[in-house]
């Protein structure tokens, strides 16, 4: 496909980087500095012009015969306008609007309103991931694969947890889930059915949303998370607070924000939350607000530096669970170095969401956050060695695991006697796997990026 992306900021450049692996991409950007950065770092054509100008849009669409228009400028209203203009210029074009403010969410073509085909809201997706991590007491990472109806969650196993010392196949897991990997130190165990679970292991579980919650209980809940402190009244922070308050459970929510105007806005949006006007980067503020007593501290400001400092202070005070977002991918390693496990990268959210919508079928791929680790779907045809064989009879390449089989729209968690059939969609989990061996097994090329 030929894709036009308007805007080379964080969202636009990340989208271009993901899509350029599978499609021809043209970026339109009016800021000279962003133009230079895009030309230097992305395998895409870059046009230095104003993408909100209808004449520029028309010329670009005609020049590359665009199939997709993705608008990712900082102004939500402009993103909607650019998509609507693109539809007027070429009605068959697929339009994707990246929106930050939930107030700008509109109905899509699928919902009966012509103009916008796909909406991508990194803020809302990030807020949803944070809310899940906050309420799954033992989870350190969470990815919702909504288009397949499953989720991936990684749980930290503590010394006092029930699974310690037990073999994976003996755990009382729900039928609609499976442990697909065990992280132990720097090693990853994929053939884990006969592995014994140790303290400090992290187990990666694929399953339905209900089963993920059940696994969290099986691991063991010392204390249900009820007290949440959110640092920063950003869009993400407020949306997380809204989700936590909507649960119907009795929860205590406190937001700490330095900006008075944001505090006033948060007070209007949230009836049952406490809003504190203070600088959460100041350790004395965190101490006076008893942050160490919170079940979960969520750092959700728009500035990575402030999130990092606040998390380090909360870590020092002994806060039980800390979750943070970050925008620049360079901060990922820094957060991990400090020992903060539950971090959500804005760039990874964007990349996964754009890939899910615009890189289709067997090439759809999810980067789960660990180096060299991927989760993807592949439809089996007659060329696949798997077809007609049972799982136990297949010589699986090192670093590869068949996590589930989608058949008739429902996931099957395979056992050794599971037979693979033509048109099965297999969900594959890999870690440092050899793409050539995976291609040989599946009978088709591995997803781009693997």
For residues 79 and 147, membership in a common domain is answered with no
Return the residue matching tokens 């993103």: 79
| Residue range(s) defining the domain that contains residue 162 | 138-219
Residue 292 lies inside a defined structural domain of this protein: yes
Would you state the pLDDT for residue 354? 82
Give whichever of 75-84, 146-155, 348-357 has the largest mean pLDDT: 75-84
Query: Both 299 and 214 in a single domain?
Result: no
Asked if 85 and 51 count as a contact pair (C-beta separation under 8 A), the reply is no
Tokens of residue 51, six digits: 């993408």
Shared-domain flag, residues 245 and 320: yes
DSSP state of 168: G
Measure Cα distances from 346 to 60, 129, 410 in Å.
Answer: 28, 11, 30
Q: Please say whether the beta carbons of 15 and 70 come within 8 A.
A: yes
Average pLDDT, integer, range 57-84? 95
27 and 113 in a common domain? yes
Confidence of residue 446 (pLDDT cuts 50, 70, 90): low
pLDDT score recorded for residue 130? 95
69-83, 90-104, 351-365: least confident range: 351-365
Q: In what order do the strands lie in the sheet with 45-48?
A: 45-48, 24-29, 2-6, 68-71, 94-98, 118-120
**pLDDT above 80 (res 449):** no
What are the angstrom distances between the C-alpha of 53 and each of 39, 58, 60, 89, 344? 21, 9, 11, 12, 34
Q: What are phi and psi of 363, to 5 degrees?
A: -90, -10
Hey, what's the torsion of the CAs at 124, 303, 48, 68, to 10 degrees?
-20
362, pLDDT greater than 50: no
Q: Which of 349, 381, 413 is the last residue of a domain?
A: 349
Does residue 60 carry a pLDDT above 70? yes
Sign of the C-alpha dihedral computed for residues 7, 8, 13 and 19 taken in this order? positive
User: Percent of the chain scored above 90 by pLDDT?
Assistant: 62
pTM, two decimals, is 0.88
- In a domain, residue 187? The reply is yes
Is the sign of the CA dihedral 91, 94, 100, 104 positive or negative? Answer: positive
- Backbone dihedral region for residue 50 (phi beyond 0: left; psi -120 to 50: alpha; all else: beta): beta
Is there a contact between 320 and 342 (Cβ–Cβ < 8 Å)? no
Q: In what order do the strands lie in the sheet with 274-277?
A: 274-277, 252-257, 227-231, 296-299, 322-326, 342-345
pLDDT tens-digit readout, 389-412: 999 999 988 999 999 999 888 889
Q: What is the mean pLDDT of residues 20-25?
A: 87
If asked whether residues 182 and 249 sit together in one domain, one would say no
**Rounded to an integer, what distance in angstroms lies between the CA atom of residue 154 and that of residue 142?**
7
pLDDT of residue 112: 72
In a domain, 126, yes or no: no
Boundary (domain end) residue, out of 308, 328, 349: 349
Instruction: Give the domain CATH number at 315.
Output: 3.40.50.720
Per-residue pLDDT tens for 300-312? 998 999 999 999 9
Q: What is the pLDDT of residue 445?
A: 64
**Report for 55-59, 302-306, 362-366, 425-429: range of highest mean pLDDT:** 55-59
Number of domains in the chain: 4
Examine the fold and report which residue of 197, 219, 241 is the final residue of a domain before the chain moves on.
219
Instruction: Provide the mean pLDDT of the chain.
Output: 90
DSSP annotation string for 266-284 = HHHH-SSSEEEES-TTSHH
Q: Rounded distance, CA 137 to CA 323, Å?
A: 11
Encode pLDDT of 252-275 as tens digits. Answer: 999 999 999 999 999 999 989 999
Give pLDDT tens digits for 267-296.
999 989 999 999 999 999 999 998 889 999
CATH number at residue 387: 3.30.70.1450
Residues 183 and 255 in one domain: no
Is 150 among the domain residues? Answer: yes
pLDDT computed for residue 363 by the predictor: 47
CA atoms within 13 A on the CB side of 378: 28
What letters, b where the CB count within 10 A reaches 16 and e where it falls short, cover 183-198? Answer: bbeeebbbebeebebe
* Confidence category of residue 82, pLDDT binned at 50, 70, 90: very high
């Amino acid at each position: 496909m030929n894709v036009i992306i308007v805007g080379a900021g964080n969202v636009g450049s990340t989208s271009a980087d993901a899509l350029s692996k599978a499609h021809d991409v043209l970026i339109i950007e009016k800021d000279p500095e962003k133009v230079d950065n895009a030309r230097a770092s992305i395998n895409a054509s870059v046009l230095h012009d104003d993408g909100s100008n209808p004449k520029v849009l028309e010329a670009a669409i005609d020049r590359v015969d665009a199939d997709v228009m993705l608008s990712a400028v900082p102004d939500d209203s402009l993103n909607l306008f650019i998509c609507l203009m693109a539809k007027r210029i070429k009605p068959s074009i697929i339009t994707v609007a990246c929106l930050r403010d939930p107030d700008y969410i509109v109905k899509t073509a699928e919902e009966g309103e012509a103009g916008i085909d796909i909406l991508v809201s990194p803020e809302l997706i990030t807020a949803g991931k944070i809310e899940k991590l906050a309420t799954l007491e033992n989870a350190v990472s969470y990815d919702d694969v909504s288009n397949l109806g499953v989720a991936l969650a990684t749980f930290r196993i503590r010394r006092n947890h029930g699974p310690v010392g037990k073999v994976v196949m003996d755990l009382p897991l729900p039928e609609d889930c499976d442990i697909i990997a065990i992280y132990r130190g720097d090693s990853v165990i994929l053939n884990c059915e006969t592995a014994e679970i140790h303290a400090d292991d992290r187990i990666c579980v694929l399953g339905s949303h209900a089963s993920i919650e059940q696994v969290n209980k099986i691991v063991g809940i010392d204390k249900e998370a009820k007290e949440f402190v959110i640092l920063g009244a950003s869009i993400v922070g407020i949306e997380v607070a809204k989700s936590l308050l909507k649960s119907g459970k009795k929860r205590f929510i406190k937001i700490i924000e330095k900006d008075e105007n944001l505090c006033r806005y948060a007070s209007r949006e949230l009836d049952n939350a406490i809003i504190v006007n203070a600088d959460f980067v100041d350790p004395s503020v965190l101490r006076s607000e008893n942050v160490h007593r919170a079940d979960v501290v969520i750092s959700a400001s728009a500035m990575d530096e402030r999130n990092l400092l606040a998390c380090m202070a909360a870590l020092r005070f002994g806060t039980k669970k800390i979750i943070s977002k970050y925008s620049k991918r360079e901060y990922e390693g820094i957060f991990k170095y400090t020992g903060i496990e539950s971090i959500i990268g804005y760039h990874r959210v964007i990349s996964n969401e754009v890939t899910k919508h615009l890189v289709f079928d067997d090439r759809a791929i999810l980067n789960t956050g660990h180096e060299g680790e991927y989760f993807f779907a592949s439809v089996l045809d007659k060329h696949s060695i798997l077809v007609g064989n049972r799982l136990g009879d297949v010589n699986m390449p090192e670093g590869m695991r068949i996590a589930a089989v989608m058949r008739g729209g429902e996931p099957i968690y395979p056992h050794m006697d599971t037979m693979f059939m033509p048109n099965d969609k297999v969900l594959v989990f890999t870690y440092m796997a050899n793409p050539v061996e995976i291609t040989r097994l599946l009978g088709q090329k591995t997803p781009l990026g693997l």
